[in-house]
Amino acid sequence: MSELKRTPLYAVHVAAGATMVDFGGWEMPIQYPAGIVAEHLYDRKHCGIFDVSHMGRLVVEGPQRVEFLQKVLSSNVAALVPGRAQYCIIPTETGGAVDDAYLYMFEEDRYLLIVNASNTDKDLAHFARYLPDYDCTVTNITDTYSSIAVQGPEAEAILRVLSGGAEITGPRKNDLNELVMEGHTVRVSRTGYTGDPIGFELFIEADQVVWLWNRLVELGAAPTGLGARDTLRLEAGLPLYGHEMGQDRSGVEMPIFAVSLARFAVSFKEEKGDFVARDLLLAQKEQGTPKKVIPVALADRGVMRAGMDIYKDGVHVGWVTSGTMVPYYKFDEAGNILDATGKRSIGFAYVDSTVTMEDVLEIDVRGKRLKARPVAKHMDQTQPPYGRAVL
């Protein structure tokens, strides 16, 4: 086994008492002493910070950068303007996903593409097949440029202390900005993987990221590990590559349009032109996919886990792709957040597309058939500053 990679914040995590695990070849904090449940709740009510420096950061530049990205990404790159970011998928030639990614246009003449940590090498190898046809380059700057996600209701107020009161970004999701925070140059995007109505991702030179992390903690943000990152994204209904995207549990490629988020990530605009698997993806969009990824909630007591089989009227219709028990805050009738909390068992399922919202599903939880139901969403993100559990 090759040696695990570490982010510049490794020693800070260890000093904070984090439990470190192998995550896609990186030695990362799964949780701090507070634990996953407390970290999840703190993020939803206050502010969580996440070391996302392990994610692959790639710079794409050169005269034909737009043409190249239009070819290998699913989104309409030409629609992106400086100061904006967009979600995209990197399609395989056969209509599945090599990875999902976020494309940032901080500058006129180059793009920053952020990919999943464990896929970075695979993505680079995939791009290398197309690069010879384009006059541009892809450079991996993961080791020199670091990133912290700052998420939750208090995220903006905390960052405003560091910016000396200056506006962090424009008000829209995917707005970008570059700021000087207490003498350090920090790039900021209004993005995140928690579903919090307020959340940012910060980018800073690797040798300054420890300063930024420690300042955020001093200002009241709580270090949050990969465990809570997973429960937060699950509650927010955000797919995770390797679970809701990529290959299914049998090693069969999942079509991109099996995930509803694909509707926002794939463009068939004339301006975009042809791209990898365009026609296959258009067919997926128009004709549907045999199976689809849907959020599900367990009605019976128990916990669903990835890989568990799902039945409808006794017929096997699919399986769980992600699942666990997540905590949530309760709200009073006026919509005020309370101190009281609850727990619920939620997940994603990959099921036959014939399954409807009205169906009752049964999940085989180690030999017991537990009732579950498809839901539209697990969380309401439309009432800032809090994400609210949809029960």
Partner 1 sequence: MNYPVDLKYSKSHEWVRYEDGVAVIGISDYAQDALGDVVFVNLPAVGDEVTAGESFGDVESVKAVSDLISPVSGVVLEVNEELEDSPENLNGDPYGAWIIKVEQVTDEEELLDAAAYEAHCAEEG
Length of the chain as a residue count: 391
Does 345 engage in binding with partner 1 (CB under 8 A)? yes
Query: Quick one: which of 10, 13, 31, 198 contacts partner 1 (CB under 8 A)?
Result: 31
**What are the backbone dihedrals phi and psi of residue 141, each rounded to the nearest 5 degrees, phi first?**
-110, 20
CB neighbour class for 364 (10 Å; exposed up to 12, middle 13-18, buried from 19): middle
For partner 1, which stretch binds (CB under 8 A), given 30-38, 105-113, 128-136, 244-252?
30-38
Query: Quick one: which of 219, 283, 325, 337 contacts partner 1 (CB under 8 A)?
Result: 325
Does 303 engage in binding with partner 1 (CB under 8 A)? yes
Q: Which is nearer to partner 1, 77 or 320 (CB)?
A: 320
Cα separation of 351 and 369, whole Å? 16
Query: Quick one: which of 46, 302, 353, 381 contacts partner 1 (CB under 8 A)?
Result: 302
Q: Which residues sit opposite 294 in a β-bridge? A: 349
Distance in Å, CB of 194 to partner 1, minimum: 15
Q: Which is nearer to partner 1, 32 or 134 (CB)?
A: 32
Alpha-carbon Rg for the chain, nearest whole angstrom, is 21
Query: Quick one: which of 46, 173, 305, 373 contacts partner 1 (CB under 8 A)?
Result: 305
Query: Quick one: which of 269, 316, 330, 343 contacts partner 1 (CB under 8 A)?
Result: 343
**What are the backbone dihedrals phi and psi of residue 104, each rounded to the nearest 5 degrees, phi first?**
-115, 135
**b/e map of 315-345 (b: 16 or more CB within 10 Å)?**
eebbbbbbbbebbbbeeeeeeeeeeeeeeeb
For partner 1, which stretch binds (CB under 8 A), given 76-84, 322-330, 356-364, 382-390?
322-330
For partner 1, which stretch binds (CB under 8 A), given 87-95, 109-117, 263-271, 296-304?
296-304
Handedness of CA 264, 269, 275, 276 (dihedral sign): positive
Does 369 engage in binding with partner 1 (CB under 8 A)? no
Q: Which residues sit opposite 133 in a β-bridge? A: none
Does 37 engage in binding with partner 1 (CB under 8 A)? yes
The SS3 of residue 281 is helix
Contact footprint for partner 1 (CB under 8 A): 30-31, 35-38, 227, 231, 301-303, 305, 324-327, 343, 345, 366
